[in-house]
Structure 1
Amino acid sequence: MSVDSDCIHRLFERQVGPRGDAVAVVSGADRLTYRELELRANRLAHRLRALGVGPEVPVAVCVRRSTWLVVALLATLKAGGCYLPLDPAHPAERLAAMAADAGVRVLVGDGSADLDVEHVVAPDVADGPGTPPEVAGLAGDNLAYVMYTSGSTGRPKGVMVEHRNVLGLLAATRDLFGFVPRDVWTLFASAAFDVSVWEMWGALLHGCTLVIVPDEVKRSPEEFRDLLRAERVTVLNQTPAAFHRLVDLDTSGLAVRVVVFAGEELKFASLRPWFDRHGDRKPLLVNMYGITETTVHSTFRVVTAQDLGTAPGSMIGGALPTQSITLVEHEIHVGGTGVTRGYLGRPGLTAQRYLPDPDRPGRRVYRSGDTARAVGDDLQYTGRLDHQVKIRGHRIELGEVEAALRAHDGVKDAVVTALPDQSGDRRLVAYLLGEPAPDLREHLRRTLPEYMVPAVFVELDAFPLTANGKVDRAALPEPDGVRPDLAEPFAAPSTPLEKAIAEIWAEALWVDDIGLDDDFFDLGGQSLLATQVAATMRERLGVAASLRLLMDETTIRSCAKALERRS
């Protein structure tokens, strides 16, 4: 593998010869071999070339999770372009803003998004040449994708990632993990989340099988466990929060040989039940640290049972072989092949974050904003220099949420922070000055993805200040559990089942009194929290509660009636 001259799609094409009849991608009952994936991607790539796609040309890809999503991403690379992955679940305004910022003219879509672009192409092109198009001058330093991350000023920023950045990551990890064609990977992450790059191309460039996890299966730990068993998955990538939902299940019969943690801080103590049942050799558990600007992963550390008593849960290990890590006044600076080109259309911000590498003339390091301290040969993650947080693997600039809140007419000012809930997960809490209307949550949902909408709103007369006159975030009060101002009048639960459901919902939503007709999602609920609540209802009440039930029956009144009908 030549990191500087090769391209992602060319390495895929080299797998088609020896692995042509092997399964490349699985999505439910739909299975594509390497040869079939190559044929479909080539046909679409020729269509994109005819529309002017070539080196450095961005193509928006907004396709639901399916084999066609992989076809669309691969075809964009084969056409010489760079893909801009858009999650169909995100608000239309946000998708349109990212596409406009990137200067997109072509969208590969399946109808799940309506963008104002010159050309819209469906991924299922049924005719055209089945051979790869010729693209002159394409090399490893051309863009492979642009991925947007949360922006502190309220404007998401696009990170420009080159082919060589991705190939450097795979070159660094191939021997560490011993990937072989018989491995089966999952695509758990959204294509708009950088871990998907590792999952997708890690599988396909090693000749492995990639199993796309449907959204509804991602939300159900039992169904996800069953999928891992049925497809004999061997390489599993998870955020710690997602993996925690598997820990308490019967996971016998799994073929998983390695679990890679990424996306948020791993608390080693949370792995004790897993180690007690499985030991620490099979599967191997690996903690990896990285950021979009340095191409997914930069450090790695194998986690053992011994770590439960000797190491804190924030040990992130040492640099990958193709990366370098230095601490400058405790801030992590990342160098090496993973350092990306910079921020699209943001030269000033790029200059602030991408600095000359003092040890390698002509190269750069990335100022991560993360802090750490050296503990022997390991690094211990210690926090952030700014107000960025990670929740369930999602990178969130609190300033972007605050800007969205201030855009509402009733909000004079806003401060957002992240607080732990009873399960140890973190949720956003917004502190507000002013008199926001009950439509505030809906206002945010028009511009922010679900994971960036605060769970709780707290109205204050004034923010606590430090001696220097800045907001004292540490002095912000805990949420008081008062029911928010909702359109529905309060009606108290009366039956034993209604009261029991209300108690469980109140614990999860940080609201003391929940009315019969209060909507779960208007109270700050979201899909992952609904999954946890359904599990608690099954455990405590012995009822057939499911995620689908809570998505359909969003009030205590309707939920109780649905459960009574099933009993």
Structure 2
Amino acid sequence: MTGLPELFDGVARRHPSRAAVVDETGSTTYAELRRLSEDTARDLRRRGAAPGHLVGVRLGRDARTVAAIIGVLRTGAGYVALDPSYPTDRITFMAADAGLGLIVGGSGPAGPPVVTGTAAPCPAALPDDLAYVAYTSGSTGRPKGCMITHRNVVAFLDETVPLFALTADDRWTVFHSLAFDASVWELWGALATGGTAVMVPERALRNPAVFARLLVDEGITVVSQVPSALQYLLPALARQQRWPTRLRYLCSVGEAVRLDLVAALHRIARGTVPTVVNMYGPTETTVFATAKEITTADLDAGVRSPIGRPLARAGVVVMGPDRQPVPPGQAGEIWVTGETVGAGYLNRPDLTTDRFVRWGDAPAYRTGDLGRQLPDGAFEHLGRIDHQLKVRGFRVEPGEVEEVLRRTGRVTDVAVCLGQVGPASFLTACVTTTTGSLDPDEIRSLREAAATALPAALCPDRYLVIDRLPRNAAGKTDRPALVELVRNRLAAAAAPLLAVPRR
């Protein structure tokens, strides 16, 4: 079977002098990237990297990161992206859970990737063609490592590339963290077609005005954005004098599509409006499982979050509690089937058995998402069944955040939800305390505990002290009631609301 290195090498042979990656230091051609990745692979093999191993990749947003990833894959090992912005505790957990004896790190802006450590046996049997393990938030406070194979990724690319009129002249932004699976689309969508992957620098990630200028200056044609980032990019585009006229595709990823933002894009666009595509799918099913071009007709159709139809090698079934399909129009759990369904969770056999199932002769994944089939055969996403949240494109299991805050001993109980104020969403920790209040030192302690154990996207934006958490008849936290309580308190601005600035 063709794997990702073979796919890349075929493109590199056809386009050796084309720019494969652009970063702050300049441009790297396909031939140069191939050589760098081969050098890294040789170093890794000397240290024992082989099929059945996982290798950590901890680099910056540059061509060396890409070379390191391809180099790991050349050895037959899979990679685990270690985002340098993650807290040390999180990286330590991931490295231990994945058995990372080898880690590829940077040697400075101009140096090649540097390999440290010695290959160690992985703690679990891995698929023969494992490409990467992507960690997502865990409901018990323990992140889950999703195992994705070369077969999954190649099938995904075979499905998605034909949906777009992509050419070697396309220039893609790699906006998302390499630890976030949307980056697989951004990076390999470019490398599989001979296009150019533009690594978005940190300052552009933090400043929408800088990112808006980058879209123009770099002649970007394909960009992916989570709606919570797009809502800040659009005003920046409207304010700047130049419009990104080469932009052809804007992919909405990571969260439920915001149709109001699509309407705003149509209002501010100068000239041709880029095609907006909503791409839906959990990490466990290899980046995306469905796609839907959002047209002006969709803006008034009354469908909250249209996710379209499954990709060519995927399928979607809406299931009832009895694990039988429900009729079109009826809500149920979305199951994704087909060749892009991943190989399960690393070191989590019980959870793998529960979520990775079979539908007929095909592998299937129970997403925990609520959806329904529309009269035209397409699908609508209706939210989460299990209260999982999406914040700035990152999956957040409230239980993981709650467990971290409980361990501080500063609170007697806590529940985390999204608080909505107009178009803005805030990850809000509703806490109860023995005193009924939190002083500045206690807030600081909670903030530091969250920042130590969690990625920035999982750290609460707000802390709200309440008398007690709402409960349902079963004695469990009443999540809908909690969301309503937070919405009212934020809107009224009359509660002891404490803002936690992001670092």
Q: Which TM class, normalised by the smaller chain length?
A: 0.7 to 0.9
CA shift, 1:478, in A, is 2.8
For 1:338 and 1:351, locate their aligned partners in 2 and report how far apart those are by CA, in whole Å. 17
CA shift, 1:415, in A, is 1.1
- With over 3 angstroms needed to count, the CA separation of the structure-2 counterparts of 1:227 and 1:153, relative to structure 1, is same
Cα deviations by residue, 1:129-157 (Å, 9 ceiling, x for unpaired): xxxxxxxxxx9951000010000000001
Decide which structure has the larger Cα Rg and report it: 1
Give the count of matched residue pairs: 467
In the alignment, what sits opposite 2:84? 88
TM-score of the pair, normalised by structure 1:
0.78
Cα deviations by residue, 1:5-45 (Å, 9 ceiling, x for unpaired): 11001110111112111110000232100011011111111
Letter in 1 for 2:284: E
For 1:280 and 1:326, locate their aligned partners in 2 and report how far apart those are by CA, in whole Å. 39
1:260 aligns with 2:256: no
Letter in 2 for 1:182: D
Aligned match of 2:6 in 4, 7, 10? 10
SS of 1:87's partner is coil
1:178 aligns with 2:154: no
**Is the Cα–Cα contact under 8 Å of residues 173 and 198 in structure 2 kept in the other structure?**
yes
In the alignment, what sits opposite 2:149? 162
**Is the Cα–Cα contact under 8 Å of residues 411 and 431 in structure 2 kept in the other structure?**
no
**Is the Cα–Cα contact under 8 Å of residues 239 and 392 in structure 1 kept in the other structure?**
yes
Aligned match of 1:188 in 161, 167, 175? 175
CA shift, 1:511, in A, is 8.6
CA shift, 1:474, in A, is 3.0
**Is the Cα–Cα contact under 8 Å of residues 428 and 453 in structure 1 kept in the other structure?**
no
In the alignment, what sits opposite 2:233? 246
**Is the Cα–Cα contact under 8 Å of residues 267 and 312 in structure 1 kept in the other structure?**
no
In the alignment, what sits opposite 1:460? 466
- With over 3 angstroms needed to count, the CA separation of the structure-2 counterparts of 1:366 and 1:416, relative to structure 1, is same
Letter in 2 for 1:107: I
For 1:46 and 1:364, locate their aligned partners in 2 and report how far apart those are by CA, in whole Å. 35
In the alignment, what sits opposite 1:539? none
What is the 5 A alignment of 1:264-413?
264-278=255-269, 282-329=273-320, 330-358=332-360, 360=361, 363-376=362-375, 377-413=377-413
**Is the Cα–Cα contact under 8 Å of residues 354 and 364 in structure 1 kept in the other structure?**
yes
For 1:82 and 1:511, locate their aligned partners in 2 and report how far apart those are by CA, in whole Å. 51
For 1:456 and 1:468, locate their aligned partners in 2 and report how far apart those are by CA, in whole Å. 28
Which stretch shifts more, 247-256 or 71-80? 247-256
**Is the Cα–Cα contact under 8 Å of residues 38 and 74 in structure 2 kept in the other structure?**
yes
For 2:411 and 2:186, locate their aligned partners in 1 and report how far apart those are by CA, in whole Å. 41
SS of 1:155's partner is coil
In the alignment, what sits opposite 1:67? 63
Letter in 2 for 1:349: L
CA shift, 1:281, in A, is 6.4
For 2:429 and 2:114, locate their aligned partners in 1 and report how far apart those are by CA, in whole Å. 46
CA shift, 1:307, in A, is 1.6
In the alignment, what sits opposite 1:449? 455
- With over 3 angstroms needed to count, the CA separation of the structure-2 counterparts of 1:281 and 1:228, relative to structure 1, is closer
For 1:448 and 1:395, locate their aligned partners in 2 and report how far apart those are by CA, in whole Å. 12
For 1:447 and 1:280, locate their aligned partners in 2 and report how far apart those are by CA, in whole Å. 46
**Is the Cα–Cα contact under 8 Å of residues 431 and 460 in structure 1 kept in the other structure?**
yes
In the alignment, what sits opposite 1:523? 499
For 2:364 and 2:271, locate their aligned partners in 1 and report how far apart those are by CA, in whole Å. 34
SS of 1:101's partner is helix
For 1:102 and 1:29, locate their aligned partners in 2 and report how far apart those are by CA, in whole Å. 32
SS of 2:39's partner is helix
For 2:419 and 2:495, locate their aligned partners in 1 and report how far apart those are by CA, in whole Å. 17
CA shift, 1:510, in A, is 6.4
Identity %, equivalent residues: 36
Cα deviations by residue, 1:155-180 (Å, 9 ceiling, x for unpaired): 00100000010001110112110211
Select the structure with the greater relative contact order (CA < 8 A; seq sep ≥ 6).
2
Letter in 2 for 1:268: L
- With over 3 angstroms needed to count, the CA separation of the structure-2 counterparts of 1:142 and 1:19, relative to structure 1, is same
- Cα root mean square deviation, aligned: 2.5
CA shift, 1:481, in A, is 7.2
CA shift, 1:125, in A, is 5.7
Structure 1: state its 5+ residue gaps.
113-121, 127-138, 483-506, 515-521, 528-567
In the alignment, what sits opposite 1:427? 427
Letter in 2 for 1:403: E
What is the 5 A alignment of 1:95-110?
95-110=91-106
Aligned match of 1:147 in 112, 134, 141? 134
CA shift, 1:441, in A, is 1.0
Aligned match of 2:477 in 424, 448, 471? 471
1:35 aligns with 2:31: yes
SS of 2:395's partner is strand
CA shift, 1:279, in A, is 8.6
Structure 2: state its 5+ residue gaps.
116-125, 321-331
For 1:430 and 1:193, locate their aligned partners in 2 and report how far apart those are by CA, in whole Å. 27
SS of 2:390's partner is strand
Which stretch shifts more, 101-110 or 432-441? 432-441
- With over 3 angstroms needed to count, the CA separation of the structure-2 counterparts of 1:405 and 1:479, relative to structure 1, is farther
- With over 3 angstroms needed to count, the CA separation of the structure-2 counterparts of 1:168 and 1:280, relative to structure 1, is farther
For 2:128 and 2:314, locate their aligned partners in 1 and report how far apart those are by CA, in whole Å. 17
TM-score of the pair, normalised by structure 2:
0.88
SS of 1:89's partner is coil
CA shift, 1:278, in A, is 3.5
Cα deviations by residue, 1:78-114 (Å, 9 ceiling, x for unpaired): 12111000110010011010110011100111379xx
CA shift, 1:215, in A, is 1.5
